[in-house]
Structure 1
Amino acid sequence: MTRMLLRQVIHDDLGCASYLVGDAGAGVAAVVDPRYDVGEYLSLARFLGVRIAHVLETHTHADHVSGHGRLAAATGATIHIHRLAQARFEHVPFDDGWELELGELRVRALHTPGHRPEHTAFTLHDVGRADEPWAVLTGDSLFVGDVARPDLAIEKRDGARGIFRSLHERLLTLPDMTEVWPGHLGGSMCGGPGMDLKVASTIGYERRHNARLQERDEERWVEQAVAGLGPQPPNFEAIVALNNGPLLAGGAELPPLEPHEVERRAGAGALVVDVRTDVQFDDAHIPGAVSIPIQHAGFGTKLAWVLAPDQPLVLVGRDDDDAEHAAALALAVGVRRFDGRLAGGMTTWRADGMPVARIERVAAERLPERRASDPELQVLDVRERSEWEAGRLPGSLHAPYHELRELPEAIDPRRPVAAICASGQRSGVAASLLARLGVREVVHVVRGGVGTLERAGVPLER
C-alpha cells in the first residue's frame, strides 16, 4: 500500500526548512537539507515506521551547518549532492535528471543553478498515480513570495542570471498545480524582504503573485536583484567550508564555570553572551556581556555577527538549560569554540555577590520627550542602511548593530547614547555592545522604534 510521506521540519531560529520524504507503505524515506540537530528526523522516522536510507542536499549551505554527517552516523544513510559541489565527504554524486526510488515515491533532480552552481531542486512523483510531479522541493531557488539571493558563491550578477534562467526555464515550466516547498521561510538571510512565513505554495500561485517573477527581461531583473541585496550571512564562508569538508557528527561540550572563572575568562578575551530576555539583561547583567536573547528568532545569526573568529564563548542564561539551548543554536551556524557556561545561570552570579551592570530602558513613544529633556543624548539608529535611507529620526546617527566592533567615530562615549531599531530587538544587542565599548550611559529604546514614532506623527528625514 502506497502512503506518500512529506513532513516539513523548520529551524525557527534561522528560518530554514528541511524535509522527510518517502513512502510510509514501503517503510523507506530520505531527508532533504537536514539541520544539524537531527533528533526530530529520527523521532519522526520511528513514529512513521520508516527507515532513513538517504540524505539529499539541494546545495552546499552557507547559512547553517548541515546535519548530513550526523544523520549518516545515526542511520547509515547514503548522502547525495550534485557533482558540481565537489564535496570532500563520502557521498554519491548525481547530475541533472538523476532519480531516486523510495517505494512508490520517485525523487527527480532538477538542476537549478544560481544561488550556487550545484544547486538542485527535487521534484516528487507518485508513480502509482501519475508521472507528473505533485510537489517540488525548491531549496534556495524559489521561495514563497520571493527568490534566493545570488551572491553567496560566485559574482553576484552571474549568480542572478543563473537564478533567472533556473526560474523561468526550469521551475516555472512545471504544472501550475505543483506544490512548492521551499528551503527557507521569512526571516532567513538567504532571501529578501518579500519572503513569506507561509510554509508552502504552488507554481501557479507564485507565477501569478510573486513580485520577483513579474519582470521577464533578464538584464533588468539582474539589476533589480543585485540592487536589493542585504548583508551577507555572517561567517558564511566558514559554514560552507564545514558543510563541504569532512563529515561532522559531534555536539557541543559546554563545561560549567563558577562566577569567578567566568570573570577570568572574560578578562582573557572570551565573549560573554547573555541569552536571557532583554528585560532581564537590562535589569542586571555581567559587566561587558552582550545581550542576545534566545526567545527571539535569529539568535544564531546575531551571535555569528558579533563573535570574532576563533573568539572563545561563554554562555549565560537563567539556568543551565538556557545555555544548553543556546549552544545548540550556535552549533547550527558553525560556532564551535565554547569555553563553557555560567553554572546555575545568572542566579549563581547574584548569589555570589558579583558586580552587575544595568541599562536604562525607554519606550519608543517616550524618546522625543527624553531627547527634549537631555540635549546631550545621542541617538544611534542600528537598522540596516536600506532602512535608514528609507526614513530616520532627524539628527540621529547610523551604524548597523552588527558593525559595532568598535565605537563609531561620531559617538562621544562621555555622553548618553540611545540605541533604536524597528522593534527593540536589534537595539537591545546594540545597547549591550555600546556599553561593552565604553559608553558611560546607554539607553535601550524598547516597545517599538523608528516606525512607531513615524506613526505617532514624528517627522522623519529621507
Structure 2
Amino acid sequence: MDVVVIETPQLGDRSYLVHDGSVALVIDPQRDIDRMETAAREAGVRITHVAETHLHNDYVTGGLVLAEKHSADYLVNGADEVSFARVPVTDGQVVHVGRLTVTVLATPGHTHTHLSYVVRDDRHDGGPEAVFSGGSLLYGSVGRTDLVSPQDTARLAHEQYSSVRRLVESAPPDAALYPTHGFGSFCSIGPASHQESSTIGEQAESNHALTDANEDHFVSQLLENITAYPAYYAHMSPLNAAGPDAAKLEVPDSVDPEELGRRLKAGEWVVDLRHRVAFADGHLQGSVSFEYGKGDNFTSYLGWVIPWNQPLTLLGPVVEVEKAIRDLARIGIDSPDAAVGPQPGALAPQLPQASYPHGDWAALLKGRVPEDVVLDVRRPEEYKASHVVGALNVPVYELPGRITELPDARIWVHCATGYRASVAASLLDRAGRDVVLINARFRDAIGAGIEKMP
C-alpha cells in the first residue's frame, strides 16, 4: 500500500491517494481535482474509488466530479442527505480496492455522520494498516464539534471522545494515521501539534482526547476552547450536499479601466493581491488588500471578511491571479473577474489613487499622540492572552460592520504578523478613515518598548 499526500496548506487540509500499484482510492479530494489526477498518473494507477469522511465545512469537495470523470465508486455515508447518486456506505462495511481492504467506521463528533476508513494491504500476513480519520482523530487534537449547530455541540463533543477511542481500538499501534484536518484548518480544535506524520500508538500516548480519562473534563475543556470560524463555512456543507460542479480555473479577460472604475465607484469588492507595503504605498482608491501567498492566509480571510456571493474583482500579476482563482474555487467562490498587471495604477492611470503610512512598533512609539487609537484585529482569544495596553479589539472579520463604532481619530492597526492588519488597514482606508499600518510581529512589541498586558 502506498499513500500519496496531497496538501492544501491554504486551508490547512490534506487529501490522499491510496493505491496498491494498480488501482487507487482517493479520500477527501479538494475541488481542484487535477492535482489528484496528476498524482494518480505519476503513480501509474487508475482511480476506481473516491471516499468522503464527511460533508465538509471548510471546502467544496471535488469528490463527485472526480468519481464521475473516472467512473469510480463514490463512497458517501448512506445517512447523509445528498442530491446526487453515490455508493452509500455504513458502519462496518468492507470495500475492496484491488488488494486493499477498506473498513468503514462510524466516528461521529465532527459531524453526526462522520466516517473514518481503516485500510489494510492484503498482500502481507496481517497487512500494514492505515487509518484515514478525516475530522475525527487529528495530530494532537480532534476536529471541532460546533459546526453543526449550537444545540448539538456538547453532544458531538461527547461522541468525539468515544469515536477516537473506537479508532484506536480498530487498528494496531503501528498503523499510520492520516487525518484530513489539523494542519492549520479552522476545523480543528484544542492543542493540535505541528508534526507531519503520526501513528495510532503515538496519538494514544500523547493526544489529549485519548489521555484524558475523564470524559466530562475533556468535553468541558473542548467547549472552552471553541473559537470563531470563517463565515464562508456556513455555505460549504449545503454546497457539498447538493453536488458541486467542476471548478472553473481559467483566468478571465482583463476588465477594462472604465468598467473597473465603475465597480470601485459602486463599492464593489476589488481585491489587490500585491504585497501589503506596495498596497499601502499606492493603490486604486476603494480597493482592498488581501496579499497573496503570505502565510497562506488569503483564502480563509477573504472568505471570512467579504460577504458571500458578492461580485469580486482580483487585481494583480497573472500568476498570482491564476493561483488566487484556484484557491477561491476551493471555497465555492467561482469565476471572479480580474484586472491583470503588475501595477494596478498602470492598469487604470485615470482612476483615483490612494495611500496610507506604514511602519513598525518604533514608528508607533515615535508617532502616536494621545488622541490616537491602537486597534488590535486579532481574534478575541489572542487579545485576551496578551495585548497592547489601551488597545481596542475588533477582529478583522467583524470590522466591516463595526467601523462606525471606532473613534474619529487616527487609527494604528496591528495583528500578529501584519497580514490581518493590512486587510483591516485597507478596509479603514476604503471607509475614509485616517489609518497607519503597523507592519510588525506582535511578539516584537515588548522589545520595541511597547507596554503589553498581561
TM-score of the alignment, normalized to the shorter chain, above 0.5? yes
Moved over 4 A (4+): none
Contact 1:269 1:312 in 2 (8 A): no
CA change 1:156–1:455 in 2 (3 A) is farther
CA change 1:120–1:425 in 2 (3 A) is same
Contact 2:135 2:180 in 1 (8 A): yes
- Is residue 405 from structure 1 mapped to residue 400 from structure 2 by the alignment? yes
In structure 2, C-alpha distance between the alignment counterparts of 1:281 and 1:181, rounded to whole Å: 39
Matches within 5 A, 1:256-295: 256-295=254-293
CA change 1:337–1:308 in 2 (3 A) is farther
In structure 2, C-alpha distance between the alignment counterparts of 1:349 and 1:161, rounded to whole Å: 57
How far off is 1:199 after superposition?
2.7
2:234 corresponding residue in structure 1:
237
SS state of the match for residue 95, structure 2?
strand
Letter of the 1:30 partner, please give it: L
Matches within 5 A, 1:28-67: 28-67=23-62
In structure 2, C-alpha distance between the alignment counterparts of 1:48 and 1:199, rounded to whole Å: 22
Letter of the 1:61 partner, please give it: H
CA change 1:418–1:204 in 2 (3 A) is same
Letter of the 1:206 partner, please give it: Q
How far off is 1:370 after superposition?
2.7
Deviates more, 1:381-390 or 1:264-273: 264-273
TM-score normalised per structure 1: 0.92
Contact 1:28 1:52 in 2 (8 A): yes
In structure 1, C-alpha distance between the alignment counterparts of 2:41 and 2:246, rounded to whole Å: 20
TM-score normalised per structure 2: 0.94
CA change 1:328–1:38 in 2 (3 A) is same
1:461 corresponding residue in structure 2:
453
Letter of the 1:367 partner, please give it: L
In structure 2, C-alpha distance between the alignment counterparts of 1:73 and 1:216, rounded to whole Å: 45
- Is residue 105 from structure 1 mapped to residue 100 from structure 2 by the alignment? yes
SS state of the match for residue 142, structure 2?
coil
1:217 corresponding residue in structure 2:
214
SS state of the match for residue 364, structure 2?
helix
CA change 1:276–1:196 in 2 (3 A) is farther
Contact 1:275 1:322 in 2 (8 A): yes
How far off is 1:71 after superposition?
1.0
How far off is 1:158 after superposition?
1.1
Letter of the 1:224 partner, please give it: Q
Matches within 5 A, 1:127-276: 127-131=122-126, 134-154=129-149, 155-171=152-168, 174-192=171-189, 194-252=191-249, 254-276=252-274
1:298 corresponding residue in structure 2:
297
1:329 corresponding residue in structure 2:
327
CA change 1:98–1:232 in 2 (3 A) is same
- Is residue 6 from structure 1 mapped to residue 3 from structure 2 by the alignment? yes
How far off is 1:337 after superposition?
5.9
Q: 2:439 aligns with which of 446, 456, 461?
A: 446
How far off is 1:345 after superposition?
4.9
In structure 1, C-alpha distance between the alignment counterparts of 2:209 and 2:273, rounded to whole Å: 36
Deviates more, 1:378-387 or 1:176-185: 176-185
How far off is 1:308 after superposition?
1.2
How far off is 1:348 after superposition?
6.2
In structure 1, C-alpha distance between the alignment counterparts of 2:422 and 2:253, rounded to whole Å: 27
SS state of the match for residue 354, structure 2?
coil
1:422 corresponding residue in structure 2:
416
Letter of the 2:315 partner, please give it: V
In structure 2, C-alpha distance between the alignment counterparts of 1:145 and 1:395, rounded to whole Å: 35
How far off is 1:311 after superposition?
1.2
Letter of the 1:33 partner, please give it: D
Q: 1:376 aligns with which of 371, 378, 391?
A: 371
How far off is 1:351 after superposition?
6.3
CA change 1:10–1:134 in 2 (3 A) is same
SS state of the match for residue 132, structure 2?
strand
- Is residue 122 from structure 1 mapped to residue 114 from structure 2 by the alignment? no
Letter of the 2:198 partner, please give it: S
In structure 1, C-alpha distance between the alignment counterparts of 2:122 and 2:73, rounded to whole Å: 23
Contact 1:116 1:153 in 2 (8 A): yes
Q: Deviations over 1:340-370 (max 9, x none)?
A: 1114353563563432211211113442233
In structure 2, C-alpha distance between the alignment counterparts of 1:174 and 1:69, rounded to whole Å: 29
Q: Which runs of 5+ in 1 are unaligned?
A: none
Contact 2:61 2:244 in 1 (8 A): no
How far off is 1:408 after superposition?
4.0
Letter of the 1:196 partner, please give it: S
SS state of the match for residue 158, structure 1?
helix
Q: Which runs of 5+ in 2 are unaligned?
A: none
Contact 1:14 1:187 in 2 (8 A): yes
How far off is 1:166 after superposition?
0.3
In structure 2, C-alpha distance between the alignment counterparts of 1:250 and 1:395, rounded to whole Å: 46
Q: 1:17 aligns with which of 14, 17, 30?
A: 14
Letter of the 1:216 partner, please give it: A
How far off is 1:255 after superposition?
3.8
SS state of the match for residue 353, structure 2?
coil
